[in-house]
Amino acid sequence: MRGQNGAGRPWFPDATAHDLPGIEGRMPSRGTQSRGGAPLALAATLVLALILAFVAVVLLQGEPARAQTRATAKYVRLTFDDGPVRGNTCRVLDVLRNKRVKATFFVIGQQARWNPGLVRRAYNEGHSVQNHSYTHADLTTLSNAGIERELRATNRAVVDAGVPRPYRFRPPYGATNARVRSIGTSLGLTQTLWTVDPRDWADPPASVVCSRVLNNVRSGSIVLLHDGTGANTDNALPCIINGLRSRGYSFRKL
């Protein structure tokens, strides 16, 4: 903006109008209106300055306002562990489909072997399918080779079900250390824990699961739920989803 104003160049007709080609024609002639010319030009300059200032304000404020909207858009990630199992996983998937919510499933490898159709269904309905070990072992108690076996076998089970290879793993019980994490990394699996745990696996009433989630979420929260266990999880889900939506949250997958 600075410079377009002709900074450094005088803009008063009585001083320079005759020296500036192109301006002269638009300026009041010196001979006829030398008294009224200066105030008129000053007024025009002020109007121009106001217009430029207005444009500058709009340009400067428009972008940060949009950036702020992006930064304050609230979202949560719902995750479901320990499946897939007949019954429960289907009910969870049904609710997610009805509510148009995408989530992430951390599957146990051997469950995926037993129920490849459910792994496929979760993926085909837009969810993310990730790695929760093959036998739900405490990975910190295993040898390096044992940890690798658990993670690799689960990747294979998911791929054999016709779903892309996982890129995240969640250690069972959240039990982890630097060794577990780095073996995951070496297999292309980013360790992913959670930030909100309503302990749905212990089967509290659906209303309790729901209020524990709603009372503890913040934007960016990763909510730990269970489709493999958690008898009341599917019943709690509509309350969780409606409650989060009414608080302005959207849903993302990992």
Q: Which is nearer to Zn ion, 101 or 139 (CB)?
A: 139
With beta carbons less than 8 A apart as the criterion, state whether 77 and 253 touch: yes
Exactly one of 80, 82, 127, 200 binds Zn ion (CB under 5 A); that residue is: 82
Q: Which is nearer to Zn ion, 82 or 150 (CB)?
A: 82
Residue 127 annotated as catalytic: no
Which of 236, 172, 158 lies closest to 204, judged by CA?
A: 236
Q: How many residues bind Zn ion (CB under 5 A)?
A: 3
Chain mean position to CA 191: 18
In this structure, how many other beta carbons lie within 10 angstroms of the beta carbon of residue 183?
A: 21
Rounded to a whole number of angstroms, the minimum distance from the CB of residue 67 to Zn ion is 38
Exactly one of 13, 166, 172, 198 binds Zn ion (CB under 5 A); that residue is: 172
Amino acid at site 193: L
Tokens encoding 46: 């002020």
- Cα distance between residue 202 and residue 193, in whole Å: 19
Exactly one of 41, 81, 147, 204 binds Zn ion (CB under 5 A); that residue is: 81
* Of 68-76, 153-161, 167-175, 235-243: span binding Zn ion (CB under 5 A): 167-175
Rounded to a whole number of angstroms, the minimum distance from the CB of residue 58 to Zn ion is 52
Residue 94 annotated as catalytic: no
How far are the Cα atoms of 140, 148, 241 from residue 144, in angstroms, in the given order? 9, 6, 39
200 binds Zn ion (CB under 5 A): no
* Of 51-59, 78-86, 148-156, 189-197: span binding Zn ion (CB under 5 A): 78-86
Q: Which is nearer to Zn ion, 109 or 204 (CB)?
A: 109
With beta carbons less than 8 A apart as the criterion, state whether 130 and 104 touch: yes
Rounded to a whole number of angstroms, the minimum distance from the CB of residue 141 to Zn ion is 15
Q: Of the residues 127, 226, 227, 234, which is catalytic?
A: 226
Which of 10, 136, 154 lies closest to 82, judged by CA?
A: 136
Q: Which is nearer to Zn ion, 82 or 234 (CB)?
A: 82
With beta carbons less than 8 A apart as the criterion, state whether 114 and 121 touch: no
Report the catalytic residues: 81, 226
